[in-house]
């Protein structure tokens, strides 16, 4: 069964499938984490998040870390032998509990090889979304690597599995990117995967600064997929806020609840959660389970409301915006997508050309292949908008214009807009106390299976 | 690059980077240069943009090398530019390991023997660092370690504001 099918089946009862970001270097802890995810009281899928050294192809540093007992920020899938990964998954991964590998690499071939060898078939990323925000690999090279990577992943077919890829395009730098560009990149990457032969797909969108705008964005994503990928098996995954995360437990939970609401109201099939430890460090297994169960409970309580969602969205978005059609976000995203498709019949070359010409341009992205002529800002209504559209193919008047003078303090306040809004209720009562880092608890308990 | 009000751009390629002396007027010929850089495995950049602005606001010229900077690129850039301060930032949890490795390479270059080199951010995966690990980073060659605590930025600002001059730093 393909990953998309499995997600749909799991969600048909519970309403929303929830998934952690989880990865540990220690195989026993990784297995305990997957077991706990599976046992959590929610409809869950499992995750193997790959560490940063493996993402960069630096397997020597992985060896050193493992030898010295230095902890990694993920599971080194290309260093542990395939049998080790198989043993981690044994009896856990199945159609009822699919496991996806999440990695952030512009050179995904070794990771895809390793996951197929371990009997897996679902992963994520993309030639743009795992290149520009993830280092300095030239975009052309990333496109070549991702083509080769798709072909590696297609080998899962020989083992009777249906390869799945999710575009990470809905995240980019995690914050301060207007939603239309997130939607456009996600759809374009899904089309790239489809062109390389992957049939089971998902497209992503990361929660931003304004709920009505976020709803439009998810509807825009669905509409563009229906138009441009009519014969693909495609579902939508929402990411809980990917920028500076609230530091109080209350703030962290409120933001997660909002993301659940976004996913349920827009009919997204899957949600990636964030934990109360997000602002501080890699979460423990227990913190992940708590976030999954909390999100699952919120989803169940909202599912009844879902039927009336279309109406509610209309009312909240106000007159003039057709939110369920994707509104303003759809209009902009469609222009971006079609401008890129017009660049070249080959989508990989079109993506490279589009960035060279600034038709796609991620605000604040330091990557050498990003034009760097766009800027964004958070408007008074909380919507993310363009301050400067650079060479984006958007109509004049889209940008609010006028480059604001930017200082480190102004940048920090834009980055902290969401964090501070969600922390405020808790900070108001007991500032000093509430800002304390959550206690990770005794390390020996973390790996304990539930 | 000078502290201008607009958002910083990186100097990914030394060839197209505008050197501090090229942009400064004659009166400012002594403006001092700070290299802000990520480490080899770390792709986060908001931290780098933020630190670049902060250091520019203190009156320095900043060369921002960006994310995932391979050890040899950092060494080459430091050798070529002879900065007055090197600021490494890492938040992905591998900063301890990446930092230990690269600072030894930097200190092995005679010209960089006296250059202040600092590191900060979220250096491990368990939150605040132990005294022992901070001690090992210092012993390996860092002049200061700004672990992810509430006062890190204030402490760093104090450190950077009173850098010794070029001559004192032994860079002329
Ligand atoms: C945005 C974000 C991303 C974006 C980054 C986009 C980009 N190009 O920058 C994306 C989505 C791509 C991303 C990817 C990853 N991320 Co990330 N990310 C974040 C997030 C949500 C916000 C970071 C941010 O933008 N901060 C804004 C800047 C201005 O603040 P800052 O980075 O915190 O830096 C402050 C201080 O640390 C300090 N500081 C930093 N450096 C220095 C240096 C000096 C000298 C001084 C004095 C101070 C200092 O000053 C800054 C201002 O206060 C944080 C969690 C959070 N904080 O909410 C996680 C986080 C940093 N990411 C994390 C991880 C692990 C990753 C990944 C490895 C994926 C994964 N396993 O989950 C990959 C990175 C891959 C790689 N090769 O490195 C972890 C790190 C865990 C740890 N250290 O224990 C965090 C904490 C999330 C978590 N809890 O798991 N991420």
Neighbours of A376 (CB within 10 A): 22
pLDDT of residue B26: 43
Compute the distance from residue B68 Cα to the ligand 1 centre, in Å.
13
pLDDT of residue A286: 98
Cβ contacts from A onto B, under 8 A: 115
A69-73, Cβ contacts within 8 angstroms, sequence gap of 24 or more: A70/B96, A70/B97, A71/A24, A71/A25, A71/B93, A71/B124, A71/B125, A71/B126, A72/A23, A72/A24, A72/A25, A72/B93, A72/B94, A72/B125, A73/A23, A73/A282, A73/B92, A73/B93, A73/B94, A73/B125
pLDDT of residue B16: 34
pLDDT of residue A15: 83
Which chain A residue shows the shortest CA-CA distance from B148? A280
Give B-chain residues touching A411 at CB under 8 angstroms.
7, 49-50, 53
Q: How confident is the model at residue B19 (pLDDT cuts 50, 70, 90)?
A: very low
Rounded distance between C-alpha atoms, residue A313 and residue B164, angstroms: 59
pLDDT reading at A319 higher than 90: no
8 A C-beta contact, residue A128 and residue A351 = yes
pLDDT of residue A405: 63
Asked if the Cβ–Cβ distance from A52 to B93 is below 8 Å, we say yes
CA distance to partner chain A, nearest, from residue B47 (Å): 10
Give A-chain residues touching B96 at CB under 8 angstroms.
70
Is the CB of B148 within 6 Å of ligand 1?
Answer: yes
pLDDT of residue A404: 64
Pairing of strands A384-388, B61-64: unpaired
Verdict on whether the full-model pTM lies above 0.95:
no
CA distance to partner chain A, nearest, from residue B27 (Å): 24
Mean pLDDT confidence for B74-93: 97
CA distance to partner chain A, nearest, from residue B113 (Å): 25
pLDDT reading at B114 higher than 70: yes
Least confident stretch, A114-118, A159-163, A197-201, A431-435: A431-435
pLDDT of residue A247: 97
Rounded distance between C-alpha atoms, residue A128 and residue A239, angstroms: 18
Which chain A residue shows the shortest CA-CA distance from B147? A280
Q: What is the number of H-type helices and E-type strands within chain B? A: 7, 5
Closest CB from B6, B42, B96 relative to A52: B42
pLDDT of residue A352: 98
Q: How confident is the model at residue A232 (pLDDT cuts 50, 70, 90)?
A: very high
Q: Is A104 on the interface with B (CB under 8 A)?
A: yes
pLDDT reading at A309 higher than 70: no
pLDDT of residue B29: 54
Is the CB of B91 within 6 Å of ligand 1?
Answer: yes
CA distance to partner chain A, nearest, from residue B149 (Å): 10
Between the two ends of chain A, the Cα-to-Cα distance in Å is: 27
Is the CB of A236 within 6 Å of ligand 1?
Answer: no
Is the CB of A277 within 6 Å of ligand 1?
Answer: yes
Rounded distance between C-alpha atoms, residue A111 and residue A74, angstroms: 13
pLDDT of residue A13: 77
Mean pLDDT confidence for A4-11: 94
Give the pLDDT confidence of A69-87 residue by residue, as tens digits: 999 999 999 999 999 999 9
Give the pLDDT confidence of A97-116 residue by residue, as tens digits: 999 999 999 999 999 999 99
Q: Is B125 on the interface with A (CB under 8 A)?
A: yes
**Inter-axis angle of helices A139-154 and A109-117, nearest 10:** 10
pLDDT of residue A439: 61
A304: CB partners within 8 A, 6+ apart: none
Rounded distance between C-alpha atoms, residue B39 and residue A113, angstroms: 27
Is the CB of B2 within 6 Å of ligand 1?
Answer: no
Give A-chain residues touching B104 at CB under 8 angstroms.
none
pLDDT reading at A326 higher than 50: yes
Mean pLDDT confidence for A308-321: 48
CA distance to partner chain B, nearest, from residue A164 (Å): 25
Compute the distance from residue B121 Cα to the ligand 1 centre, in Å.
8
Mean pLDDT confidence for A418-446: 66
Asked if the Cβ–Cβ distance from A175 to B46 is below 8 Å, we say yes
pLDDT of residue A312: 52
Locus of tokens 């230990």: B100
Percent of chain A with pLDDT over 90: 86
Give the pLDDT confidence of B27-58 residue by residue, as tens digits: 445 789 999 999 999 999 999 999 999 999 99
**Inter-axis angle of helices A327-341 and A179-195, nearest 10:** 40
pLDDT of residue A2: 87
Mean pLDDT confidence for A158-186: 97
Q: How confident is the model at residue A14 (pLDDT cuts 50, 70, 90)?
A: confident
Q: How confident is the model at residue B69 (pLDDT cuts 50, 70, 90)?
A: very high
Rounded distance between C-alpha atoms, residue B111 and residue B79, angstroms: 7
Rounded distance between C-alpha atoms, residue B69 and residue B17, angstroms: 16
Give the pLDDT confidence of A329-381 residue by residue, as tens digits: 999 999 999 999 999 999 999 999 999 999 999 999 999 999 999 999 999 99
Pick the more confident residue, B168 or A240: A240
Counting Cα atoms < 13 Å in the Cβ hemisphere of A386 gives 24
pLDDT of residue A117: 97
Return mean pLDDT, chain A.
Answer: 92
Whose CA is closest to A222, among A210, A207, A239, A234? A234
pLDDT of residue B5: 36
Give B-chain residues touching A135 at CB under 8 angstroms.
43, 67-68
Least confident stretch, A54-63, A274-283, A398-407: A398-407
Is the CB of B45 within 6 Å of ligand 1?
Answer: yes
Pick the more confident residue, B145 or A397: B145
pLDDT of residue A323: 57
Rounded distance between C-alpha atoms, residue B119 and residue B36, angstroms: 10
Q: How confident is the model at residue B1 (pLDDT cuts 50, 70, 90)?
A: very low
Rounded distance between C-alpha atoms, residue A10 and residue B107, angstroms: 55
What structural domains does chain A harbor?
1-450 (3.20.20.240)
Is the CB of A246 within 6 Å of ligand 1?
Answer: no
pLDDT reading at B164 higher than 90: no
Q: How confident is the model at residue A432 (pLDDT cuts 50, 70, 90)?
A: low
Compute the distance from residue A316 Cα to the ligand 1 centre, in Å.
33
What structural domains does chain B harbor?
24-161 (3.40.50.280)
R_g over Cα of chain A: 21
């Amino acid at each position: 069964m393909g990953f998309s099918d499995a997600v749909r089946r799991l969600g048909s009862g519970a309403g929303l499938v929830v998934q952690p970001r989880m990865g540990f270097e220690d195989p026993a802890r990784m297995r305990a984490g997957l077991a706990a995810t599976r046992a959590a009281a929610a409809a869950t899928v499992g995750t193997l998040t790959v560490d940063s050294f493996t993402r960069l192809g630096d397997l020597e540093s992985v060896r050193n870390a493992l030898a010295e007992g230095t902890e990694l920020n993920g599971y080194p899938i290309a260093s542990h032998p395939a049998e080790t990964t198989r043993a981690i998954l044994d009896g856990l991964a199945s159609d009822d509990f699919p496991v996806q590998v999440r990695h952030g690499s512009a050179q995904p071939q070794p990771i895809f090889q390793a996951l197929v060898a371990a009997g897996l078939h679902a992963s994520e990323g993309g030639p743009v979304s795992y290149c520009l925000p993830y280092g300095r690999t030239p975009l052309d090279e990333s496109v070549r690597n991702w083509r080769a990577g798709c072909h590696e992943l297609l080998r899962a077919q020989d083992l009777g599995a249906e390869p799945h890829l999710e575009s990470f395009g809905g995240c980019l730098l995690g914050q301060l990117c207007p939603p239309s560009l997130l939607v456009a990149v996600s759809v374009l990457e899904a089309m790239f995967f489809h062109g390389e032969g992957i049939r089971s797909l998902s497209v992503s969108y990361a929660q931003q600064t304004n709920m009505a705008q976020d709803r439009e964005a998810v509807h825009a994503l669905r509409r563009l997929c229906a138009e441009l990928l009519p014969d693909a098996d495609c579902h939508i995954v929402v990411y809980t806020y990917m920028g500076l995360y609230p530091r109080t437990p209350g703030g962290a939970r409120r933001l997660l609840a909002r993301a659940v609401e976004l996913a349920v109201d827009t009919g997204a099939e899957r949600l990636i959660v964030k934990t109360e430890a997000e602002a501080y460090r890699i979460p423990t297994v227990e913190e992940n389970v708590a976030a999954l169960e909390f999100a699952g409970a919120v989803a169940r309580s909202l599912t009844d409301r879902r039927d009336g969602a279309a109406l509610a969205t209309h009312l909240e978005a106000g007159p003039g915006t057709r939110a369920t059609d994707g509104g303003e976000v759809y209009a902009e995203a469609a222009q971006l997508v079609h401008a890129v498709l017009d660049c070249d019949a080959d989508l990989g070359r079109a993506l490279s050309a589009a960035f060279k010409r600034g038709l796609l341009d991620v605000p604040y992205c330091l990557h050498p292949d990003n034009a760097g002529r766009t800027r964004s800002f958070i408007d008074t209504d909380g919507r993310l908008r363009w301050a400067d559209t650079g060479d984006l193919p958007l109509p004049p008047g889209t940008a609010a214009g006028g480059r604001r003078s930017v200082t480190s303090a102004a940048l920090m306040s834009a980055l902290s807009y969401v964090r501070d809004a969600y922390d405020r209720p808790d900070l108001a009562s007991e500032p000093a106390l509430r800002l304390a880092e959550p206690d990770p608890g005794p390390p020996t308990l973390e790996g304990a299976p539930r | 690059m000078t502290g201008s009000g607009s958002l910083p751009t990186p100097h990914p390629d030394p060839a197209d980077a505008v050197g501090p002396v090229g942009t400064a007027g004659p009166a400012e010929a002594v403006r001092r240069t700070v290299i802000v850089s990520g480490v080899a495995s770390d792709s986060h950049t908001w931290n780098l943009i933020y630190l670049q602005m902060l250091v520019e606001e203190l009156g320095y010229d900043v060369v921002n090398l960006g994310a995932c900077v391979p050890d040899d690129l950092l060494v080459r850039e430091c050798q070529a530019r002879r900065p007055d301060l090197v600021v490494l930032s890492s938040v992905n949890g591998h900063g301890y390991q990446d930092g230990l490795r690269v600072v030894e390479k930097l200190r092995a270059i005679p010209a960089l023997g006296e250059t202040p080199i600092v590191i900060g951010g979220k250096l491990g995966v368990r939150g605040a660092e132990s005294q022992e690990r901070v001690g090992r980073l210092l012993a390996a060659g860092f002049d200061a370690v700004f672990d992810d605590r509430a006062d890190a930025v204030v402490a760093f600002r104090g450190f950077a504001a009173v850098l010794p001059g070029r001559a004192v730093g032994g860079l002329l």
